[in-house]
């Protein structure tokens, strides 16, 4: 019940294209959903985050879409660039006890030049 399922495992996109990564959860007590970007040899870095009281959040080329009824959320990267090539993780925290991040399994994004 505390899992966050992420897909696809890997994604190849042409430069300028849209990258879409999806996550699903079961536990309705999750109330904070961040996305992290990780480059090889580095720790994860927070990209963008959303709470379930909004359906969409946009920051630059990155957008989170959130569907509370379906218990799904997704990351859209517009105008994807080779520099976006990295591993992306969705995550979630539980309301009232947000002491840990529960991560998805990751998506390795490759943006071809």
Partner 1 sequence: DAGVTQSPTHLIKTRGQQVTLRCSPISGHKSVSWYQQVLGQGPQFIFQYYEKEERGRGNFPDRFSARQFPNYSSELNVNALLLGDSALYLCASSIGQFMNTEAFFGQGTRLTVV
The residues of the shown chain that bind partner 1, judged by CB under 8 A, are: 6, 31-32, 36, 41-46, 49, 89, 91, 93, 97-106
Radius of gyration of the chain (CA): 13
**CB of residue 29 to partner 1, shortest distance in Å:** 12
**CB of residue 13 to partner 1, shortest distance in Å:** 20
Strand ranges for 26-85 from DSSP E: 30-38, 45-50, 56-59, 62-67, 72-77
Which pairs count as long-range contacts for 39-45, CB under 8 Å and 24+ apart, including other chains?
Answer: 39/86, 39/87, 44/89
**CB of residue 51 to partner 1, shortest distance in Å:** 8
**Closer residue to partner 1 (CB): 20 or 101:** 101
Please choose, from the candidates 85, 108, 89, 82, the residue with its C-alpha nearest in 3D space to the C-alpha of residue 9: 108
């Amino acid at each position: 019940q505390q899992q966050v399922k992420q897909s696809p495992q890997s994604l190849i996109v042409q430069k300028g294209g849209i990258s879409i990564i999806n996550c699903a959860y079961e536990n309705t007590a999750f109330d904070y959903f961040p996305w992290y970007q990780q480059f090889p040899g580095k720790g994860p870095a927070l990209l963008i985050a959303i709470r379930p009281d909004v359906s969409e959040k946009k920051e630059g080329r990155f957008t989170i879409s959130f569907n509370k009824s379906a218990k799904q959320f997704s990351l859209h990267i517009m105008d994807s660039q080779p520099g976006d090539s990295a591993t992306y993780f969705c995550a979630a925290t539980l309301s009232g006890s947000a002491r840990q991040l529960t991560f998805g399994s990751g998506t390795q994004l490759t943006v071809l030049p």
